[in-house]
Amino acid sequence: MIPPDHPRYRSLMVRERLARCAEAGVVALEGLAAHGRGEAFDYLIGERTTPSALLAARTAAAMLLLAENPVISVNGNTAALAAREIGELQRASGAAVEVNLFHRTEERIRRITRLLEEEGVVVLSGEAERLLPLSHDRAWCLPQGIGAADVVLVPLEDGDRCAALAAMGKRVIVVDLNPLSRTARTAALTIVDEVTRALPHVTAACSDLDPAEAAALITSMDNAYLLRTAIDEIITRLSHALD
- The Cα–Cα gap between 228 and 190 comes to 11
Task: Evaluate whether 28 touches 102 at the Cβ level (below 8 Å).
Answer: yes
DSSP string, 77-104: HHHHHHHHHHHHHHHHH--EEEE--SS-
Query: Residue 23: pLDDT above 60?
Result: yes
pTM of the model: 0.89
8-state DSSP, 123 = B
Check residue 5 and give its pLDDT: 64
d(Cα 224, Cα 52) in Å, to the nearest integer? 11
Question: In this predicted structure, what is the pLDDT of residue 219?
Answer: 96
- Is the pLDDT score of 89 beyond 80? yes
pLDDT for 243: 60
β-pairing verdict for 96-99 and 129-130: unpaired
Contact (CB, 8 A) for 86 and 199: yes
Cα 186 to Cα 160: distance, rounded to the nearest angstrom = 9
Instruction: Specify the pLDDT at position 202.
Output: 98
User: Of the candidates 19, 209, 28, which has an alpha carbon nearest to the alpha carbon of residue 101?
Assistant: 28
51-242: CATH, from 3.40.50.12640, 3.40.50.2300, 3.30.70.100, 3.30.450.90: 3.40.50.12640
Q: For position 101, what pLDDT does the model report?
A: 83
Tell me what the mean pLDDT of segment 97-113 comes to.
88
What is the C-alpha to C-alpha distance for residues 210 and 15, in angstroms, rounded to an integer? 38
- Break the chain into its structural domains and give their ranges: 51-242
The per-residue pLDDT for range 200-240, each reduced to its tens digit, is 999 999 999 999 999 999 999 999 999 999 999 999 888 87
3-state secondary structure of 75: coil
Phi, psi (deg, nearest 5) at residue 231: -65, -40
